[in-house]
Amino acid sequence: MFGYKAVIRLSVILGVITWLLLLLLDLTALFSAKNNIAFGLPSFAPKIALGLFVLSIVLFYRYRINKAESVNFIDLLWRVFVTGLITTVVSLAIKFLFSVFGDTSLAKNPLVINFFYHINLGLIIAFTVSTLIVWKRLILYQKTKSLLAFWRIFEYSLLGALAFDILGYALFDPFFNILLGILVLMGLVLSFNLKWVAYLNFKQKWKSILFIVLVIIYLFYFLDGLVDYSNQDVLVTDLLDSVYILASFSFISVYSLISALVILFNLPTSSVFEKKLEEAMNFQRLSQSQSQPTGQKKEQIYEILLDSTISAVFADAAWLEITEDNPPILSKYNISDKEINDVKEAVKNTALKKVINTEFDNISNSQRLSATLKGVKFKSILLFPIIAKQKQIGSIALLKEVGDSFNKEMVDIINTFVNQASISLENFQLINDAIENERYKEELKIASRVQQSLLPSALEQSEKFDIHGISVAADEVGGDYYDSFKLAEDRFALIIADVSGKGTSAAFHMSQMKGIFHSLVQLSLDPKQLMVVTNNALSQCLEKTSFITATYFEIDTKKSKVCFARAGHCPTLYYSSKSKELEYFKNKGLGLGILRNSNFEKYVQVNEFQYSSGDIIVLYTDGITEAVNGENEQFGYEKLSDTLMEYINQSPEQISNGIFEALYKFCENDSLDDDYSIVVVKFR
């Protein structure tokens, strides 16, 4: 299959060959007639060559114009203008050449006349065909099925006329006139398809009129030239004896004339169309401003709104005031601050007084916000509140120097712009809030990973006991903390703590607790001293409203002894394998940071006990015992004890998991309201 460029090249080659063939046949026929020599070919041979030449030109312009991507109407008319201009210039040059030679025998030689006539013939056919194809594209703009079918009938009829011309009928023959009349009527019907005219702006319409008028002038000039050649009675091929050419001339002339008149009559409406188009573009700008909030600032939305409303009502001055922002925003056009204050004072004496002081829940249902002012430069004002999230955040005022200048249509379009701007502002805030929330979520995820890294991945192990710990935060981050430290080969430190509150502040204080613990535990302080020094350190950095509960254990595996102190933390659950009994250690103690002086030492109680093989220590935070179910019942100490007894023969890890499983079952798998942690020690 031939490509686009290949078809164009082929059509050019065919055009040149068929034109030369037509010229050769006509000159040969003329020479034979003048010298009484037999022509040797049928009389219709030149007609066939002419038909083939027309078809090659049709093929060229069909691909050159129809396949062009541009649908700019002015560009299409420019193509017609340029083709006609070239044809006219060449024709005028030939006419000038004949005038120079005057009455010489060369100028009157039939062969010379026919040669230059064929140059005119080729250019006129090229102009006619190119204009026909441009007119086709204009007519079929926004085509319908019926219009497309009618055009095809017309086009095929023209091709039929081209075949009819081979028969040799001349102008004024009955069959010739009947076919020509049918084609002229069909062209007349098609000439009223001018939908493309409505899409021209004022400037484009004037250009179109100029180009079309020039096309009409070209046509009459070409027709006059063809008549002059025909009157010399020396032509072998006369274009005036072609139905195709005359029908094309008629259609092009009628469509050009009707187009020029319609465009001329539509000139007064151009400004209205352009105004509506500009309003639509401004509305689109406002709509697009809400779809890209990260690239748009609120100030840009205000600027678009002010420019759009000024353009929509041809305002002489305007201002936009946003009182919600800090500092307030005041954008103005062609008006000073003093004039704004003067207008506001004048407004107070008009029906618009309540408009300035009223918050509108729905602009669409509000009254018409316009009035005529007195005593100021501007006589008309149109004032609208700007609403966002059911709250008036500002107002926009449009002014004119002539009284009663704002009509209902203007009020409606300003209402539309302000409503769209309000939607854009709301969406702007909502999407930015969503982006901010996503940023916070990402930061919380990072904080959660950091917090998890603060908790030990594994507690210190010993041949004399097994240990396991778990901590889960109610939010992304929490305030529970547990840790262990190997003081010596047979001495181990173990701590569990709970920061008051939840979330990021609790997690921050938890990290402080970890730092203090790791610093002090290396000093080999006894449990009471460690609690006192820790309280002094935390008192310097904790907020006044914050405190930390903790329990600190020191395990001596050589002496099988445990020494511990409690700072307001949950009672430690202890199981004795000898007595088969459970016990909660409830020794006194205040939370760290509650009492921030030397009196704190009085509230620290240190206990110790001997452990045996199989004994179990369970350290936990209050999130476990205070967890509630759907009936608002707490898990409590009793259920914790019962659950431990169910898993008493299991490993610390199985005990921890069993307690959590019982806890979730009790809470019916609802999310817990607090952080919860547990550390289980089982002595071997």
Q: Which residues pair with 371 in a beta bridge?
A: 381
Widest pairwise Cα distance in the chain:
148
Q: Which residues, other chains included, contact 271 with Cβ-Cβ below 8 Å and sequence gap of 6+?
A: 202
Average pLDDT over all residues of the chain = 83
**CA atoms of 248 and 126, how far apart (whole Å):** 12
| pLDDT of 294 higher than 60 | no
**Cα 235 from Cα 117, distance rounded (Å):** 8
Domain 290-433 has CATH 3.30.450.40: yes
CA separation for the pair 320, 310 (Å, rounded): 11
Whole-model pTM above 0.85? Answer: no
Q: Nearest 5°: phi and psi at 516?
A: -65, -45
Matching residue, tokens 């020094």: 533
Q: Is 422 left (phi over 0), alpha (psi -120 to 50) or beta?
A: alpha
Cα separation, 291 vs 419, whole angstroms? 16
Local confidence band at 388 (pLDDT 50, 70, 90 cut-offs): confident
pLDDT, tens only, 225-252: 888 888 887 788 888 889 999 999 999 9
Q: How many CB atoms lie within 10 A of CB 73?
A: 21
Asked if domains 290-433 and 456-683 share a fold, the reply is no
Beta pairing partners, 618: 573, 680
Q: What is the pLDDT of residue 295?
A: 42
Residue ranges of domains in the chain: 73-276, 290-433, 456-683
Q: What is the C-alpha to C-alpha distance for residues 266 and 194, in angstroms, rounded to an integer?
A: 12
456-683 topology per CATH: Phosphatase 2c; domain 1 (3.60.40)
Q: Is the pLDDT of residue 184 over 60?
A: yes
Three-state secondary-structure class, residue 90: helix
| Helical (H) or strand (E) element with 524 | none
Report the first-to-last Cα separation within the chain, whole angstroms: 91
For the cut 50, the answer to whether the pLDDT of residue 447 exceeds it is: yes
Model confidence at 276, pLDDT cuts 50, 70, 90, reads low
Helix (H/G/I), strand (E/B), else coil: 235: coil
| Angle subtended at Cα 305 by Cα 302 and Cα 309, rounded to the nearest 5 degrees | 145
524: phi then psi, degrees, rounded to nearest 5: 55, 40
Looking at residues 178-204, what average pLDDT do you find?
Answer: 89
CA 461 to the chain's CA centroid? 59
Which residue is listed with tokens 């103690």? 589
- If one compares 155 and 448, the residue with the highest pLDDT of the two is 155
- Return the bridge partners of 677, or none: 471
Determine the Cα–Cα distance for residues 272 and 201; give it in Å rounded to an integer: 10
pLDDT average, residue stretch 268-281: 57
Confidence of residue 101 (pLDDT cuts 50, 70, 90): confident
Q: Tens digits of per-residue pLDDT, 525-550?
A: 889 999 999 999 888 888 888 899 99
* CB neighbour list of residue 79: distance below 8 Å, 6 or more residues apart: 65, 130, 134
Q: Does the pLDDT at position 289 exceed 50?
A: yes
- For the record, the structure tokens of 381 come out as 């004002």
Q: What are phi and psi of 548, to 5 degrees?
A: -135, 130
